Amino acid sequence: MKRMNLNKVIFSGLGILGLAAVVVAFTTSFTTKSVEAVEKTPSITWYSYEEGSKLAEKKGKKIFIDVYTDWCGWCKQMDKTTFKDAKIIAYMNEKFIAVKLDAESPKATVYQTKVITERELALNVLQANSYPTTAYLDERQNIIQPVPGYQDAATQDKIMHFFGDNHYKSKTWDQFLLEYQPK
């Protein structure tokens, strides 16, 4: 009968325990750093429609609404790309109150003193017939313009500046595009 080498067993056991300790330490360190990085990474501050409309009136800011559905792939793509872009985040948080609105939600909200569902707000008021649709409203909830479709960061930047800096009041979109220089 072959004798077991206890030293091998002990060192193997310590090796596995040591490896486990290293993995736990690495994972904990990585997780902590990841959480810290996420907390320090700027992001768009999103509100419900009701919260956002009250805050917009109070702060005198325009409202930006991202009208989405849970099943919409392009909506998710905008969340992953366009709304993660540093320039979009900075300008959005400076100039707008950003609202996420589920176009299929039966949840009640208030639009200009009327109680309606988020679905009714999306379809009947914001005219969101496809998704994603972004909509721009003034601080009193008056619709400036809905914009249907996926927007990459470069296009979104132009659209936000057109409305956010009030160019829409004095220029056509085509005139604005001829003059606009991204910052």
For 88-116, the pLDDT digits (tens) are 999 999 999 999 999 999 999 999 999 99
Mean pLDDT, the chain, whole residue set = 85
Are 26 and 111 in a shared domain? no
pLDDT band at 16 (very low <50, low <70, confident <90, very high): very low
Are 157 and 91 in a shared domain? yes
The strand pair at 133-137 and 114-117 is best described as unpaired
Are 27 and 110 in a shared domain? no
78 touches 31 (CB < 8 A):
no
Residue 40: count of CB within 10 angstroms of its CB:
7
The H-or-E segment that residue 115 falls in is strand 114-117
Overall number of domains in the chain? 2
111 touches 141 (CB < 8 A):
yes
Are 7 and 89 in a shared domain? no
Are 23 and 57 in a shared domain? no
CATH number at residue 112: 3.40.30.10
Are 108 and 58 in a shared domain? yes
Are 54 and 132 in a shared domain? yes
The strand pair at 108-111 and 114-117 is best described as antiparallel
Domain that includes residue 1, residue range: 1-41
pLDDT value of position 39: 57
Are 10 and 75 in a shared domain? no
Across-strand partners of 66? 100, 134
The b-or-e profile of 100-125 (16+ CB within 10 A means b, else e) is bbbbebeeebebeeeebebbbbbeeb
Q: What average pLDDT does range 155-177 have in this prediction?
A: 96
